[in-house]
Structure 1
Amino acid sequence: MSNEALARLAEERVDHRFKGLPPDADGLTVGELAAQRRNLFTGGFTTPVLALSAERLEHNLRLMETYAARHGLAFAPHGKTSMAPQLFQRQIEHGAWGITLAVPHQVRVARAFGVRRIFLANEVVDPAALRWFAAELAADASFRLVCYVDSVRAVELMDAALRGAARPLDVVVELAAGDGARTGARTEAECAAVADAVAAAPALRLVGVAGYEGEVPRADPERVRDYLRRLVGLAVDLDRAGRFAEAEEIVVSAGGSAWFDAVADVFAGIPELSLPVLKLLRSGAYVSHDDGHYRELTPFNRVPEEGALEPAFRLWAQVVSRPCGDQAFANAGKRDAAHDLDLPFAQVVRRDGAERPATGVTVTALSDQHAWLRTGPEADLRVGDWVGLGLSHPCTSFDKWPLIPVAEADGTVVDYIRTFF
């Protein structure tokens, strides 16, 4: 990645664009503010404010690096979770092969910060985006981009848009996770037809197969493994048919954040093929983890001897109304908290510098700018208290905060993570 581009993030001026930051920091650069090492609770930050735990973030990065290495997997974490180039850099420093993305805009962000390997887990048929890809590939011989295809029609559109490109675009055939799943060719026969179309398209080069096991209908361990075995079998069949003759290695890729243990198990059994195999895992939510969706579904719950991810986000809101004995309102709502899967979880209450469990406090609803809190008899909650909320689904947490403080356990803010959505 480009150290120069990353360094420019520290030169950005703090102002009204960034929620929760101290008003008296306006005009400072992000780097100058970080150097002050202000305290999240006493340094002028305003509520609501989202913070990443410095220690838990580092723990999660190290854990997945170790996991991928232990299981012989290359790792391209899904960057759409954070869209944060600083985190891309840290993931690459922790052994990531590259970064997975989903749409052309995200590729442009990653390229602006010098990411050299991108796995685009989506099909792109927009001629303008494809021409931009071709220009990037022509301008930088070290840049590698791999993209999905799942239909003959898509191959035709992509080849037409890329005709005359200096380098072919590497593509992988996407096998759907079953009837009723999201994208992908539904059958192996359809995949073979797509592979044949790629072979006839000068602007494309077939380099592997891919899919997303998180879309398996009524997913359970055996159904997920059955699908992954189909994916491996597809790679074997296409290799026997000579469809990877132009490739330098064969990519076999899968891996959301709920079933990467199944991916590791099945990919361990990939037989020897005609070329080296890049076993590419794409799990991305691990970087911050969460207190809801993935905390329940993480494979580490099924294989605890592998370790455990730690939720790294906490959203701090302040109690602004206590209208009756069983109700309170805090000043964080849908604009601030992930809520597409589960509501936030009240975890701790902070008053006069002391922190205690949020016993008897439950988030029951979110308005645009308020969290509705139900309080039991044991809840000691007053107007002015800070409430620390755990969040569900990191994929819709980062997108609400363009600049996120990274705080150590004592509240010292040591860095700021810039996001681009």
Structure 2
Amino acid sequence: MDVPETTVDWRSKGFWLPDGERPASWYAADRPGLFEGGFTWPLLTLRQSAALHNIELMAAYSRRHDIEFAPHAKTTMAPGLIAAQLSAGAWGMTVATPNQALVLHRLGVPRVFIANEVLDPVALRWLATAPDFEVYLQVDSLAGVAAAAAVPAGRLRVFVELGHAGGRTGARSLDELHAVASAVNGAPRLSLAGVTGYEGQLPDVASVDAFLDLLAAGVTRLKDLLPAEPLVSAGGSAWFDRVVARLSGLRVLLRSGASVSHDDGFYRERTPFRRVPGEGPLTAALELWAQVISTPEPGLAIVGMGKRDAPFDEGLPVVYEVRRAGPSPSPDGMTVTRMNDHHTYLATGSSPLTPGDLIRFGISHPCTAFDKWRDIPVVDDDHRVVDVLHTYF
């Protein structure tokens, strides 16, 4: 795919360009320092070395276990990272909505899996006929099959989805799954490609393994309906090691998306590489810089970032560094306690902070980080900007 050239201007949060604009390529050529006056705070950055490490690690993991990998693009919706994942050998990309599929089609991604049900006839008609585009979607009901089968032209490739009690989409029994698959095979404009499921909401190894075993049983149950070598898709970013273990012998399509940037919270604690450390580790690539704007009480600093800038749905940011002109205090004991739209409350412990100090935060849950930033500087290990990611949310 070709990554389109983008322009950074006054609309790009964190870039300080009050009077003009610059092509993203300027940053790659000039390599400005992050702290040399061309940026303002707060600012989300992506450390290039960490992201490239994560991309290659997951590509090597997929090769080692002989599985296909279609990382979930909804995490980043950033052409630069999508292109890097495809170049590393990804089978395709996963998305959650037809709009995201449209974005990736316009970016030139040739193969996309929509890991969701699609019932909108407008979107289905386009998906069935989009040129030079191999797209797959999920069905979990007879109503979903009927909606997809009603397209007047073209063809749709579909996975039948198995779910679990209390989860989100997916047929709740193998009997229901079989009925849906039979309906797909009876529809002239539908092709059955495989079976899919999502284990990410399950709480522990035992429940994940039980669900994946049921998914494998579903493949066996549908043997006479499926193609000779069906794809079996599963694997969020928390349990993909169990997917590999329990679906061994099947043609697995993994779709873990948070691995590209990892994080310092939710996935740091839940990554499969805590269970299989010899296969990892992933490295947190996102860093959020923000400035102390007030120290109104002993032990409290107010930082100029908030829910508009950092994810907060699966844990609050964590402090990693204080940057100032002179000797900097240790971040040990500093804890984010709550966030408003544009303010973060930081308990400073015994470390004194001063208005104007810069704080480097790690974030928790990258899936709600990228969407808050239109343009994201990519930095090297010396905090020089070497590229700019543009996001399409």
Q: In which range does the TM-score fall when normalised by the shorter chain?
A: over 0.9
Hey, what does 1:304 align to over in structure 2?
Answer: 277
Following TM superposition, by how much is the alpha carbon of 1:356 offset from its aligned partner in structure 2, in angstroms? 5.9
1:266-314 residue CA offsets vs partner (Å, 9 max, x unmatched): 12244xxxxxxx3100101000000100000000001111121111111
Is 1:264 paired with 2:248?
Answer: no
Compared CA separation, residues 355 and 279, structure 1 to 2 (3 A): farther
Pairwise CA distance, 1:34:
3.0
With 81-90 and 345-354 compared, the bigger mean Cα shift is at: 345-354
| 2:215 is the counterpart of 1:243 | no
After superposition, residues 39-78 of structure 1 pair within 5 angstroms as: 39-78=33-72
Q: Describe the SS at the equivalent of 2:99.
A: helix
After TM superposition, give the deviation of residue 44 of structure 1 in Å. Answer: 2.1
The residue aligned with 2:201 is 215
Give aligned-pair identity as a percent. 48
Query: For residue 172 of structure 1, what is the aligned residue in structure 2?
Result: 159
Structure 1 runs of 4+ aligned residues shifted over 2 Å read 22-26, 353-357
Number of residue-to-residue matches in the alignment:
393
Deviations 1:178-224, CA, capped at 9 Å, x for gaps: 211111000000001001111111111111100001133xx211221
Q: 1:417 pairs with 386, 389, 392, which one?
A: 389
Cα distance change of structure 1 residues 131 and 355 upon mapping to structure 2, 3 Å threshold:
farther
2:378 maps to what in 1?
406
Q: Does 1:196 align with 2:182?
A: yes
Cα offset for 1:76?
0.3
Distance 2:21 2:282 in 1: 37
Separation in structure 2 between the aligned mates of residue 368 and residue 173 of structure 1, nearest angstrom: 41
- Name the residue aligned to 1:340: 313
Matching of residue 226 in structure 1 with residue 210 in structure 2 = yes
Distance 1:234 1:321, change over 3 A: same
In 1: Cα distance, 2:20 partner to 2:77 partner: 24
The alpha carbon displacement at 1:237 in A equals 1.6
Structure 1 pair 195–313 and aligned structure 2 pair: CA distance change class (3 A): same
Query: 1:149 is matched by which residue type in structure 2?
Result: V
- 2:33–2:385 contact (8 Å) kept in structure 1: yes
> Residue in 2 aligned with 1:183?
169
Q: Is the 8 A contact 2:305 2:342 kept in 1?
A: yes
Distance between the aligned counterparts of 2:57 and 2:328, measured in 1?
28
> Could you tell me whether the CA contact under 8 Å between 1:14 and 1:30 is conserved in 2?
yes
Paired residue for 1:159? Answer: 149
Structure 1 residue 353 displacement after superposition: 7.4
In structure 2, distance between residues paired with 1:43 and 1:75: 40
Point out the more displaced range, 181-190 or 35-44: 35-44
Aligned counterpart for 1:117 among listed residues 105, 111, 127 = 111
The amino acid of 2:157's aligned partner reads D
Q: Tell me if the contact between 2:10 and 2:16 (Cα under 8 Å) persists in the aligned partners.
A: no
- What residue ranges of structure 2 are gaps of 5+ in the alignment? none
Pairwise CA RMSD? 1.4
User: Does the CA contact (< 8 Å) of 1:24 and 1:44 recur in 2?
Assistant: no
Q: Which residue of 2 aligns with 1:273?
A: none
Q: CA offset at residue 24 of structure 1?
A: 6.0
| Structure 1 residue 42: Cα displacement | 1.8
Tell me the TM-score normalized by structure 1: 0.91
1:359-417, Cα deviation, whole Å (9 max, x unpaired): 2321111111111111112x131111100111000000000001100111111110111
- The answer (yes or no) to whether the contact 1:13–1:26 under 8 Å persists in 2 is no
User: Amino acid of the residue matched to residue 212 of structure 2?
Assistant: L
Cα 1:115–1:354 shift into 2, 3 Å:
farther
Matched, 1:314 2:287: yes
